[in-house]
Chains A and B, each alone.
Chain A
Amino acid sequence: MSFLIGKEMSAGYGGTDILHSCTIGVEHGEIAVVVGPNGAGKSTAMKAVFGMLPLREGSVLMSDRDITHLKPQDRVRNGMGFVPQNNNVFTSLTVQENLEMGAFIRRDDFSDTLTQVFDLFPVLKEKRSQAAGELSGGQRQQVAVGRALMTQPQVLMLDEPTAGVSPIVMDELFDRIIEIARSGIAILMVEQNAKQALSIADKGYVLVQGSNRYTDTGSALLANPNVRKAFLGG
């Protein structure tokens, strides 16, 4: 049984459904990656699991608890961390203030968590007093991920974390994500860079037009000739 699972979700933004009985889930300490062509509904599936989109059908379960009715803020309180694709930092606040805002719901002393985040992303410690809007794209992503980690979530959801980031920085980011997963946090990630993402994934979901097409381990999907031909370029 998965730790976090969005089961057979059907949802949409208006009249038509974008997701059709889609299922994505992740275990503790596991990296699950959702890939697929443009318009497949990857980000939509993510938003549905996070609660930003109401489900017409299906449910979201965390530790076997039904959280389908919970608002996003409440899901954050219950151990979910979410890193949106765009507008994911407070640009006019400093790096340190961004991280402090990330821990807003915590009433206890979070300096330990702050140290952990700085250990994970040393460049953030250097630039802690700089406004987040002045940082480069890769550094901003690090702030965004760090911000989500401040609540010490049990599952971290990332929406295209490497969008608009150079290949070297992408490798670094994936290294960090592996480190985070190793500390026990479940990682659910939507990615466009399918090949690289699947190479670090424990489980992969290939979505096409809002429904599951292939579900398997990352390496199996990489080896699958159909998947390779359709999405990975042979």
Chain B
Amino acid sequence: MSNFAIVPGLAYGSQLALGALGVTLVYGVLRFSNFAHGEIMSFGAMVTILVTWALQARGINLGPLPTALLALPVGIAITIGLCLVTDRLVYRYYRQTKTQPVTYLIVSVGVMFFLGGLIRFIIGPNDQVFNDGTRFIMKASAFKEMTGLNQGLAIKASQSITVVTAVIIVCVLFWFLNKTRAGKSMRAYSDNEDLALLSGINPERVVMITWIITGALACIAGTLYGLDKSYKPFTFLQLLLPIFASAIVGGIGNPFGAIAGGFVIAFSELFVTFAYKKVLAYLLPIGFAPDGLVQLLSTDYKFSVSFMILVIVLLIKPTGLFSGRAL
């Protein structure tokens, strides 16, 4: 069970958490739902892939770790640039004319389509695998030898990198938001915009810092997802739903909630579509082993799980697990 549910759940949860953090930050500070976030993640991953290929062509690699990690800083820088440029060209106009949040949402959908097209234009719509370096930190057979258990536990390198990176990023982000003057000013601006302006907090600076953090988070999340599974431009459109579900379930506007929500959604998706056949075969006496895969829902319905959880949370506790802004 750990093989196909817990370990991937941790990795997938970390990826969703990083994505949801970006969404929740933009919602809390800039006060709109950024539907283009999936495509920003895709863009970040794409740039990292291109740089990775350039590095690989020159024979540079990072030994057992994927070369993509070397390319990541460049990817982050360029993604941040993209976010700042988008803000300057698109969102700033709406800030100055003080438009409704719904307008921003539609505008972000426009940005989403534009970015999506641009990405497919640059890298093509096909699958790209760019993970090199060791594939498995722990192979199933090695685990069986080590512990003498019948079942193997396999941990892919990409999964552990995802979790480790996510933990580091989250710690840095929390330190920034809670201990630095700039971070506190962002929280203050998100809490009470008028009072923040009165206190002399510069709104343009807060917006800029928000986009920088969001761009970095999106690039890292997209790259880690691509490393773990594979990079296909179309997947990021579908990923929007679990990411937004994570942010909302955890309490939108609350960074802590985004992380919790990410894991709730990830584990729910995996456990609901998990094939419990083997587990049941193990637990039940012989002869009672089920015939079918014994999934609560077939794998095709994976995305509907996050949708269902979202609907349930909105009906029962709309502010989310950690009481973000009510929607």
Write the residues of chain A forming the contact surface with B, with a CB cutoff of 8 angstroms: 72-73, 76-77, 82, 84, 87-93, 97, 100-102, 104-105, 147
Contacts of B201 in A (CB 8 A): 101, 104
B188→A82 contact, CB < 8 A: no
Instruction: Name which residue of chain B comes closest to A90, CB basis.
Output: B191
Contacts A97-B184, A101-B185 given; does A90 touch B192 at CB 8 Å: yes
Q: Are A91 and B192 in contact (CB under 8 A)?
A: yes
Assuming the contacts A93-B184, A97-B184, asked whether A104 and B200 have C-beta atoms less than 8 A apart, the reply is: yes
Minimum Cβ distance to chain B for residue A38 (Å): 23
> Which residues of chain A are within 8 angstroms of B197 by Cβ–Cβ distance?
72-73
List, in ascending order, chain B residues with CB within 8 A of A93's CB. 184, 187-188, 191
**Given the known A-B contacts A84-B195, A87-B194, A90-B195, are A73 and B188 also in contact in the complex, defined by CB atoms under 8 Å?**
no
Question: What mask results when residues 265 to 304 of chain B are scored 1 for a CB within 8 Å of chain A, else 0?
Answer: 0000000000000000000000000000000000000000
Chain A residues, CB < 8 A from B196: 90, 101
A101 partner residues in chain B, CB cutoff 8 A: 184-185, 188, 196, 199, 201
Interface residues on B, range: 10 to 19
Which of A76, A92, A97, A100 is B200 in contact with, Cβ under 8 Å?
Answer: A76
**What's the nearest-Cβ distance from chain A to residue B136, in Å?**
44
- Please tell me if B149 contacts chain A, counting CB pairs below 8 Å: no
Whether the Cβ atoms of B200 and A73 lie closer than 8 Å is yes
A142 to B: closest C-beta gap in Å: 16
B198 near A76 with CB under 8 A, answer yes
- Closest chain-B Cβ to A231's Cβ sits at a distance in Å of 30
- Give min CB distance, A48 to chain B, whole Å: 16
Q: Report the bound CA distance from A108 to B159 in whole Å.
A: 46
Residues of A within 8 A of B192 (CB): 87, 89-91
Q: Chain B's nearest CB lies how many Å from the CB of A152?
A: 13
Output the least CB separation between B107 and chain A (Å): 27
Distance from A52 Cβ to chain B, minimum over Cβ atoms (Å): 9
A-B contact pairs, 11 of them (CB 8 A): A82-B198, A87-B195, A88-B195, A90-B188, A91-B192, A92-B187, A97-B187, A101-B188, A102-B199, A104-B181, A104-B201
| Contact partners of B191 in chain A: CB under 8 A | 90-93
Known: A97-B184, A100-B184, A104-B185. A73 touches B198 (CB 8 A): yes
